[in-house]
Amino acid sequence: MITCHIRYIIDPKKAAEFEEYARMWIPLVEKFGGTHHGYFLPSEGANNVALALFSFDSLAAYEIYRKHSQLDEGCQKAFRFAEETDCVISTERSFLRPVLGESSE
């Protein structure tokens, strides 16, 4: 399993737009076989940092999702929404390997 962690820098004046954008992506990730763990919006502290976490069975499965997202109508709608509202300033993507309990060895 691989978990994608996305750190967003958002326009704090457009937090409502970013939340709408985030809600668009949760079912889209799941449509392509991922498990979305949610978006995390600013509350206390920095008002311009949001996070997202979602997992795929493998990096290869994630890459298939990325490829298909470029062609999917719902994904294209979400990409356009972010661009039109200018709610996302930048993103930083990292991939993590979760530790979920006892070792299988």
Q: What is residue 100's predicted lDDT score, i.e. its pLDDT?
A: 78
- 101 conformational bin, left if phi > 0, alpha if psi -120 to 50, beta if neither: left
The C-alpha angle 35, 10, 17, rounded to 5 degrees, equals 75
Q: How many CB atoms lie within 10 A of CB 38?
A: 11
User: Which pTM value belongs to this model?
Assistant: 0.87
Q: Order of strands across the sheet with 2-10?
A: 35-40, 49-56, 2-10, 88-96
Q: What is residue 39's predicted lDDT score, i.e. its pLDDT?
A: 97
Q: What is residue 9's predicted lDDT score, i.e. its pLDDT?
A: 97
Q: What is residue 105's predicted lDDT score, i.e. its pLDDT?
A: 53
| Intervals of the chain under pLDDT 70 | 103-105
- List domains and CATH numbers for the chain: 2-89 (3.30.70.100)
Q: What is residue 56's predicted lDDT score, i.e. its pLDDT?
A: 96
The single-letter DSSP state of residue 14 is G
